[in-house]
Structure 1
Amino acid sequence: MSGEEDHTGLFGAEEEQESLPEMAEEECLLKKMEISVSEAEKRTGKNSVNMQETYTAYLIETRSLENASDGQNSLESLWRRYSEFELLRNYLSVTYSFVVVPPLPEKRAEFVWHKLSADNMDPDFVERRRVGLENFLLRVAAHPVLSHDKLFLAFLTQENGWKEAINEAGLQVKTDSRLKALNATFRVKNPDKRFTELKHYSDELQSVISHLLRVLARVADRLYGVYKVHGNYGRVFSEWSAIEKEMGDGLQSAGHHMDVYAASIDDILEEQEHYADQLKEYLFYAEALRAVCRKHELMQYDLEMSALDLVTKKQQCEELTTGTVRAFSLKGVTNKLFGQETPEQREAKIKVLEEQIEEGEEQLKQRNLESRDFVQKAWQEIERFKEQKNRDLKEALINYAVMQISMCKKGIQVWNNAKECFSKM
């Protein structure tokens, strides 16, 4: 469309980028185990502050594919709440900071259109969330890194003790001390251009998909209006047929075709909601991309602070060794007021500084290695994500177009049938 920004970089072929080492392809959990979220059940219980609450629990079923010929792959099942899925995802996000962790389905209904409830306990919404939670588990189980995590396997197979294991892993401490540490006051002096561009990419991805979802919502509302008009035609023809003798049969048949067509709107809206959910997954993936960028910024900030601290300590050591102060300092004023340090005191301070410099150099070296390792793994992960995104969105948009074509053909057929009814009058 004229005047529209070109977004082919999001849904078309990606620009060629520098080749990266391929992530080691280990056998993922999905090749060893069948995983499904088969049921959703409304329950009532007490929350952490001992107040009554209503929530939905989801039944996770797993079956081992190993030793299948021996008949030892019995079905196992357990129930999990949505909040437990959130805890699992937070754990994976913190533990594997370089991974674009698959998002969870929405907790509350968004982009709701006509005839679809925004109630979180609505059966249709709960069913869609059940499908989304299953998709989340399958995404993690298919991931070459996440699928090997022991706590993820425990989430699937151990009813009790799973939360305690998460707490022992120090998730809350890590979350509070690391991810929340990088705020507006922390600014990286030398940001990595690639991660800056990745943030722009994630913002654009979120913007484009949000726009698509709004368009889908408007289309769904208009469709509902069209089908309601056909329902009105059906009622009018049926009532008209009751007062017409010669045209009665033809009008009644035409009204029947209109009624059947109008009644199909529920299935169509349900199918449209399925495609919307596929788009929403990538709407939430945009935040997962930004999370990787924030983790890199925090790592880069720590690296720069280590380098600055090392330079400061080297300067202090040089000043003590040579007895010259390069710039104004409180230490220099103190020396003038209270006298110079003794040689023994100066030697002791120099020795401490030298030890701190040695530790600082080792720490800086280690942080440089960690940063390079993070960047390498993160970009392998980004490339993997982009390939997955292009494949999934291409398939979803093609299927949506096919559905629209099929729907239009059915509409044409309804009017052809009505035309035959009218021609026989």
Structure 2
Amino acid sequence: MNGRTDGQTDGWMDRQMEEDWTDGQMERMGTMLLLRQRLVTAQALGFRTRCSPKPHPTITPSTPPYLPNLELLRFFSVMRMRIASSADSSSNNSQMIMADSGSSDEVAVICNTDITSTESENNIINTMVERGTALLKKMEISVAEADKRTGKNTVNMQETYTVYLIETRPAESVSEGGTPVAPDTLWRRYSEFELLRTYLLVTYPYIIVPPLPEKRAEFVWHKLSADNLDPDFVERRRVGLENFLLRLASHPVLSNDNIFFLFLTEEKGWREAVLETGFQDKADSRLKSLSAMFRVKNPDKRFTSLKHYSEDLSTVISQLLRIRARVADRLYGVYKVHGNYGRVFSEWSAIEKEMGDGLQSAGHHMDTYAASIDDILEEEEHYADQLKEYLFYTEAVRSVCKKHELIQYELEMAAQDLSYKKQQKEELETGTVRIFSLKGMTSKLFGQETPEQRESKVAALEQSIQEGEGALKEKNAESQEFVEKAWNDIERFKEQKEKDLREALISYAIMQISMCKKGIQVWSNAKECFNKM
């Protein structure tokens, strides 16, 4: 607490409560400016969700995003002056978090500590939009609801499964009455989402294809159900599937795929259309990929480094999610134990006359505090799901790296085969034969070849060498094209990852601050009850 002693800290908190946050006006100003800046950014990118207001007509898509306006700069300047002037007196406002990067010119102030998971989700969605994307500008996409159904599977056995309702409508479609036109709807199973993603992985091997939400719950704390038909889990997966579709629709390449468009608009015949593309024949076998990984002689250092990074990132996020699950378990227990305060205060109030009302009221506040943890941890799951998305993204990154290894391996094999054929041709033309080669051994066993046989073999080798040179040229061009396209998408992914993870972590920190503020409020109310006794 900036060097305060325990006594100073208690006094500081009391003064803040008594003053009732006299700097609230400054906080509201900061909140208003930051929210307006986010709105301008979303409008500048041409993105609008169901929760977003209609873009202001004066904002055009050409407006550069994330440019701080004059009012924001003035606000940050005022805040820096106030923080600097109050540092010596140790009276910093506890509603304000300052993250100083070490440079006097880079100070970030977060004033709004009441952002909900829904607002955070909208902020994450806003960062998906690419300027050159056509589909998301022309079509609104959502997974509106989930439904449980029963039917027969491929082996004619009864099964229960979940289907998801996809709604699409033109972005600016409004009927004459002024109400939005009814959306086009269709139902999809999770397995159809899986088929779509598999098709995209095979068809666009150079793209980091967005991941699907988990099929079964992972990194759960003990109060959450791991059942994949649990309503809360199905709801979180519905949100994840909508996020998956929005990721695809915001991608500059994937959004233009015809199979993806049919997935959104054609319920019948879509699976047959996917299979007709023959994408399954193009899929690389796992054994082939493993062989390439261990036998590539000259791997690209950039892709090797990216592969190692994705493995490290996967480890870090997994550990983070495990820690969060353990913290959630313990926090749930701490909050629920506070319910015992409520019970004891209520029992105590029954035997007191003058103190009874105050104790009874304090007990009610404790009960409210104990019950609040359910909503808090439910909100936490939204931030955990955002981290899980990038845990699954790391596998998509490794998939691109493995495909590059396979292309590099095929290129090296083509070069090696061409070199061997040229060496054979040289031996036939010069008549020099290595003793321990296959050619040398057959010559010793069956005698030397006639000139006619040698000329025939040389002609065949020349034809084979020409074909090999053509194949090598094609492999070189394929490798160069793959590297160029893959690295462009990798750079796009890096920018997206930094924005999304920063937003998720900041929102999680803000939620924790809000939770602590609510705890302070509960105990402040309890203190007032005790004062009135």
> What's the TM-score once normalised by structure 1's chain length?
0.90
SS of equivalent residue, structure 2 residue 188: strand
User: Residue deviations 1:189-246, cap 9 Å, x none?
Assistant: 0111111100111012112211221221122122212211211111221222233222
SS of equivalent residue, structure 1 residue 384: helix
Distance in 1 between residues matched to 2:206 and 2:218, nearest whole Å: 29
**Does residue 300 of the first structure (1) align with residue 408 of the second (2)?**
yes
Paired letter, 1:168: E
Select 2:138's aligned residue among 32, 42, 60.
32
**Does residue 182 of the first structure (1) align with residue 289 of the second (2)?**
yes
Equivalent residues in 2 for 1:10-409 (5 A)?
26-65=132-171, 74-175=182-283, 177=284, 180-184=287-291, 186-409=294-517
After alignment, is 382-391 or 162-171 more displaced?
A: 162-171
Paired letter, 2:153: N
Q: Which residue of 2 aligns with 1:15?
A: none
After alignment, is 187-196 or 204-213 more displaced?
A: 204-213
Q: 1:169 to 1:180 in 2, by over 3 A?
A: farther
SS of equivalent residue, structure 1 residue 191: coil
**C-alpha displacement at 1:326, in angstroms?**
3.4
Q: 1:148 to 1:336 in 2, by over 3 A?
A: same
The percentage of aligned residue pairs carrying the same residue is 75
User: Residue deviations 1:363-387, cap 9 Å, x none?
Assistant: 1111111111111111111111111
**C-alpha displacement at 1:92, in angstroms?**
0.7
Q: Which residue of 1 aligns with 2:105?
A: none
SS of equivalent residue, structure 1 residue 63: strand
Distance in 2 between residues matched to 1:252 and 1:241, nearest whole Å: 6
SS of equivalent residue, structure 2 residue 521: helix
Paired letter, 1:142: S
**C-alpha displacement at 1:314, in angstroms?**
0.8
Q: 1:280 to 1:207 in 2, by over 3 A?
A: same
Distance in 2 between residues matched to 1:290 and 1:315, nearest whole Å: 37
**C-alpha displacement at 1:344, in angstroms?**
2.6
Gap regions ≥5 residues in structure 1: 1-7, 9-23
Contact kept in structure 2, 1:203 and 1:286, CA below 8 Å: yes
After alignment, is 283-292 or 166-175 more displaced?
A: 166-175
SS of equivalent residue, structure 1 residue 182: helix
Paired letter, 2:522: V
Distance in 1 between residues matched to 2:181 and 2:424, nearest whole Å: 67
Distance in 2 between residues matched to 1:332 and 1:25, nearest whole Å: 64
Paired letter, 2:465: I
SS of equivalent residue, structure 1 residue 183: helix
After alignment, is 67-76 or 242-251 more displaced?
A: 67-76
Distance in 2 between residues matched to 1:365 and 1:100, nearest whole Å: 26
Distance in 2 between residues matched to 1:221 and 1:136, nearest whole Å: 29
**C-alpha displacement at 1:339, in angstroms?**
3.0
Contact kept in structure 2, 1:37 and 1:131, CA below 8 Å: yes
Contact kept in structure 2, 1:60 and 1:79, CA below 8 Å: yes
Contact kept in structure 1, 2:210 and 2:396, CA below 8 Å: yes
**C-alpha displacement at 1:178, in angstroms?**
5.0
**C-alpha displacement at 1:345, in angstroms?**
2.5
User: Residue deviations 1:18-38, cap 9 Å, x none?
Assistant: xxxxxx964331111110001
Contact kept in structure 2, 1:65 and 1:73, CA below 8 Å: no
Q: Which residue of 1 aligns with 2:532?
A: 424
Q: Root-mean-square deviation (CA), in Å?
A: 1.9
Distance in 1 between residues matched to 2:339 and 2:249, nearest whole Å: 46
Contact kept in structure 2, 1:66 and 1:73, CA below 8 Å: no
**C-alpha displacement at 1:161, in angstroms?**
1.5
User: Residue deviations 1:36-85, cap 9 Å, x none?
Assistant: 00111111111122222111111111112366578996411111111111
Q: Which residue of 1 aligns with 2:119?
A: none
Contact kept in structure 2, 1:253 and 1:418, CA below 8 Å: yes
Q: 1:67 to 1:262 in 2, by over 3 A?
A: closer
Number of aligned residue pairs:
402
Distance in 1 between residues matched to 2:243 and 2:260, nearest whole Å: 15
Contact kept in structure 2, 1:64 and 1:74, CA below 8 Å: no
Q: 1:308 to 1:68 in 2, by over 3 A?
A: farther
**C-alpha displacement at 1:337, in angstroms?**
2.5
Distance in 2 between residues matched to 1:137 and 1:204, nearest whole Å: 27
Gap regions ≥5 residues in structure 2: 1-100, 102-129
**C-alpha displacement at 1:421, in angstroms?**
1.0
Distance in 2 between residues matched to 1:359 and 1:217, nearest whole Å: 59
Contact kept in structure 1, 2:433 and 2:439, CA below 8 Å: no
After alignment, is 46-55 or 365-374 more displaced?
A: 46-55
